[in-house]
Amino acid sequence: MLIHPDRLFPVEPTVRAVAQRLYRAVQDLPIVSPHGHTDPRWYAQNEPFPDPATLFVIPDHYIFRMLYSQGVSLEDLGVPTRDGSPVERDARKIWRRFAFHYHLFRGTPTRAWLDHTFATLFGFTERLSPKTADDYFDRIDAALRTPEFRPRALFERFRIEVIATTESPLDPLKSHEMIRQSGWKGRVITAYRPDPVIDPDFEGFRDNLVSFGEITGCDTLSWDGYLEAHRKRRAFFRGYGATSTDHGHPTARTADLPRAEAEALFRKVSTGAVSVDEAELFRAQMLTEMAAMSVEDGMVMQVHPGSFRNHNNTVFSRFGRDMGADIPSQTDYVRALKPLLDRFGNERNFTLIVFTLDETSYSRELAPLAGHYPALKLGPAWWFFDAPEGMRRFRELTTETAGFYNTVGFNDDTRAYLSIPARHDVARRVDCAFLANLVTGHRLDEDEAHEVAHDLAYRLAKEAYKL
């Protein structure tokens, strides 16, 4: 078998039996995916995926970052360059190169997701390798040409109840409008990701502010007009189903400046004459401003701090953003979030979901904060930690202080559409294994464990994101 039916379950037979029972009760629950990065054009246009390499390799930084670390050039993997210079176009060659290096993924979550996908969707029983590369390519390529493998059919096959894509305020949401006009009943919503017009270090920030004004009809070079533009776009996004905002900042720092100081800071930021410290202060202020708007309009707020984004300058300059070089850094939450929590942490109609790349902060900072403030919830999986070991450590480090119900279940953060069921399956298995240990250790009754397993797999995410 390519995948074992008891993968990720405890080895001890008694504990494994409990995990199996818990898992059987949740394995077929619908998927709620409130934090996705899939392309809304897939659902709008519903066209066949081009070929296995374009589907699995070229867009997935989990895959090409590993190969790049072993000396494989991104050009040889077909990753498009910013200037349009030539890259490999032969999909079969790209796939063979991927298969030749498949051993690099041994023991990684990426390998688990891929093997799950290959086995459950395409029926493979033999591992991907140079020997099987062409058979894999031909069978996957043939399947992708059938109606059953078009995006909307897969959406239904995966039992996706709702999925949120993530768009910039500058995005006209044309794909979401196409979905609406098509009459298809699949629930694909958007999420408001304002980084391009909030982060002064974002490339083209000044031009983005101008475009922001053109789209909204607001004077986005004035403080009041800029804030009003956000309110307008948030309302526009809500019209396309958005229930959340999403913020990817280098740190978790928040600020609550007096109006005059905030306005003066914005004048500096909007002219481009801004220092590193001023840029960070502006991002901090804008997290608090976004929280204030969430209190007004009810949108859930997600914060993803602690990533040194685009760390590899050479790769960034040649290929652009999100090329696998976003590196975790140590992150402070206790002091950083205090200005925002001082204003809104006790609001019961406000939800702030905090993610982290700094595992050491789980038990020391995040769990105690979430275990106290009504507004604060923990997002359990993101990037490097949406792996079995990371998921298990998350439960171990947070449950003792925050419990299960100050977390928001499982959030898959993926650009790889076909890996969504695999990621949810891994999370459900890990949570059931964790709960089985509590049951056999006589810390939790099995009927309670069944309820918690259901909540972690389905209910908590749905309720936290108001879906």
Number of Cβ within a 10 Å radius of residue 196: 19
Within 13 Å, how many C-alpha atoms sit on residue 264's CB side? 5
Which domain CATH number covers 221?
Answer: 3.20.20.140
Side-chain half-sphere CA neighbours of 132 within 13 A: 12
Helices assigned H by DSSP within 169-275: 174-182, 195-198, 205-216, 223-238, 259-271
The answer to the question of residue 8 being in a domain is: no
Q: Is the dihedral of CA 397, 400, 406, 409 positive or negative?
A: positive
What pLDDT score does 384 carry?
63
Q: Token pair for residue 82?
A: 């910013």
Residue 296 lies inside a defined structural domain of this protein:
yes
Residues 77 and 213 in one domain: no
One domain for residues 249 and 372: yes
List, run by run, the mean pLDDT of 10-residue segments along the chain (467 residues): 96 98 98 90 96 94 94 96 96 98 95 96 97 98 98 97 96 98 96 97 95 98 98 98 96 98 97 92 98 98 91 94 87 97 97 92 95 94 74 93 95 86 95 98 98 98 96
Q: Of the candidates 321, 24, 92, 87, which has an alpha carbon nearest to the alpha carbon of residue 202?
A: 321
C-alpha span between 39 and 33 (Å, rounded):
13
Angstrom distance (rounded) from CA 72 to CA 67: 5
3-state secondary structure of 206: helix
Which token pair is 72?
């494989």
Chain length of the chain:
467
Q: Which of 149, 181, 198 is the last residue of a domain?
A: 149
3 found inside a domain: no
DSSP β-ladder status, 327-328 and 307-308: antiparallel
What is residue 383's predicted lDDT score, i.e. its pLDDT? 60
Residues 224 and 319 in one domain: yes
395 in Cβ contact with 425 (< 8 Å): no
Same structural domain, 276 and 127: no
Q: How far apart are alpha carbons 33 and 164 in whole angstroms? A: 6
Residues 413 and 319 occupy one common structural domain: yes
Residues 23 and 398 sit within 8 Å (Cβ to Cβ)? no
CATH number of the domain where residue 132 is located? 1.10.2020.10
Amino acid 449 reads A
Cβ–Cβ under 8 Å, residues 23 and 7? no
336 belongs to a structural domain: yes
What domain count does the chain have? Answer: 2
Domain match, 124 and 197 both: no
**Together in a domain, 367 and 434:** yes
Is the domain of 427 the same as that of 451? Answer: yes
- What angle do the packed helices 109-122 and 420-440 form, to 10 degrees? 110
Q: Does 339 map to a domain?
A: yes
Does residue 318 belong to any structural domain of this protein?
yes
The predicted pLDDT at position 36 comes to 77
Note down the domain range covering 80. 49-149
Per the domain annotation, does 7 fall within a domain?
no
**Strand pairing report for 31-33 and 160-164:** parallel
Instruction: Give the sign of the dihedral formed by CA 88, CA 90, CA 91, CA 95.
Output: negative
Instruction: Determine the Cα angle at 425 with ends 421 and 428, to 5°.
Output: 140
Check if the beta carbon of residue 226 is closer than 8 Å to that of residue 200: no
Helices (H), 27-90: 40-45, 52, 61-69
CA dihedral (284, 234, 222, 309) positive or negative:
positive
Contact criterion met (CB below 8 Å) for 177 and 202? no
**Domain endpoint, select from 106, 128, 149:** 149
From CA 306, how far away is CA 43, in angstroms rounded?
A: 32
End-of-domain residue from the set 134, 149, 164: 149
210 & 84 share domain: no
Is 4 inside any structural domain? no
Q: Quick count: other Cβ atoms within 10 Å of Cβ 461?
A: 26
Report the alpha-carbon distance of residue 270 to residue 266 in Å, rounded: 6
d(CA 385, CA 358): 9
Are 325 and 446 found together in one domain?
A: yes
- Cβ-count burial 382-421 (b if 16+ within 10 Å, e if not): bbebbbbebbbebbebbbebbebebbbbbbbbbebbbbbb
Are 286 and 278 in contact by the 8 Å Cβ rule? The answer is: no
Give yes or no: residues 204 and 264 share one domain. Answer: yes
Looking at the fold, whether 78 and 212 belong to one and the same domain comes out as: no
